[in-house]
Amino acid sequence: MKVNIKRIDKTLPLPQYETAGSVGFDLICRESAEIAPHTIVLIPANVIVETPPGYMLMVCSRSSTPRKFGLMVPQGVGIVDTDYCGEADELQIQVYNFTDSVVKVDRGSRIAQAIFVRVATAEWNEVEEMSAASRGGFGSTDR
């Protein structure tokens, strides 16, 4: 799949898939940042990505980021729509410092990854009743 991408700072490399089996490509921090304890910060990821129609771009924490940095993605994952690709639409890595200390992230650090995910748009068919019996509500399989 060919995807248009623009780097903001061309001295930093393009994102890359680190191994032949990687499904996510690492995003690179364009700026160094200091994140105060228990705060949320946006760190610019240096790229604007033109996500192809029929896909979304999902931004996730790298598995090592909580352990190495004490940071997590506060909303779980970031979802980038296909129309978020204008000149001012640089990807941002939203992080939450869950530690009691200031966390420093250096320019060029890889703290997040992105994955292209195929999606479909639903056409709603509103009904008066659902056809299946209720299975018991939220969390009902944890008996």
Domains of the chain: 4-118 (2.70.40.10)
Note whether 55 and 116 are within 8 A (CB): yes
Q: Please give the chain's pLDDT, 143 residues, in tens.
A: 999 999 999 999 999 999 999 999 999 999 999 999 999 999 999 999 999 999 999 999 998 899 999 999 998 899 999 999 999 999 999 999 999 999 999 999 999 999 999 999 999 999 999 998 887 777 767 65
Q: Where are the alpha helices (DSSP H) in the chain?
A: 65-69
User: What pLDDT does residue 23 have?
Assistant: 95
User: What pLDDT does residue 143 have?
Assistant: 59
Angstrom distance (rounded) from CA 47 to CA 37:
27
Strand pairing of 110-118 and 25-28?
Answer: antiparallel
